[in-house]
């Protein structure tokens, strides 16, 4: 498609439950990025993919967060055993190539942990 598509728009989970978010990048884009935006608006980089390969995972909390980009499927970000501090908007972005290329963002998934 012409836009990055994220689902669901809003996800509510009880503390300790699992949360799974999905992202379909723009068609033809090779790179996918996940960012977390917390209440103070700050963006935190989580992970990036080049096609189905992890490119940079330096921002990922190792213990509970995982992500995948499989061929012919939306990319996913999964959080096990959610905590209150995981409440945030999770944005996915995609870009055509590496280097100095624009990253286009999806509408985000608002994750609320109760």
Tell me if 108 contacts another protein by CB under 8 A. yes
Write down the least CB distance from residue 24 to another protein, Å.
14
95 binds another protein (CB under 8 A): yes
Q: C-alpha 63: how far from its chain's center?
A: 16
Residues 112, 85: contact at Cβ < 8 Å?
no
- The CB density around residue 105, as the number of other CB atoms within 10 Å, is 16
Instruction: Kindly identify the residues of this chain, within the stretch 60-89, that bind another protein according to CB under 8 A.
Output: none
Pairing between strand 31-37 and 43-50? antiparallel
> Using CB under 8 A as the criterion, which residues of the chain lie in contact with another protein when the complex forms?
31, 33, 35, 40-43, 45, 48, 55-56, 58-59, 91, 95, 98-108
């Amino acid at each position: 498609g012409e836009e990055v598509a994220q689902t669901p728009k809003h996800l509510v989970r009880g503390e300790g439950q699992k949360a799974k978010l999905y992202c379909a990048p723009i068609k033809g884009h090779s790179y996918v990025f996940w960012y977390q935006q917390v209440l103070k608006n700050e963006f935190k980089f989580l992970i990036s993919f080049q096609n189905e390969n992890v490119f940079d995972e330096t921002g990922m909390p190792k213990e509970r967060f995982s992500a995948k980009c499989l061929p012919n499927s939306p990319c996913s970000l999964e959080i096990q055993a959610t905590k209150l501090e995981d409440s945030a908007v999770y944005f996915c972005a995609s870009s055509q190539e590496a280097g100095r290329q624009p990253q286009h963002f999806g509408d985000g998934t608002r994750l609320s942990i109760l």
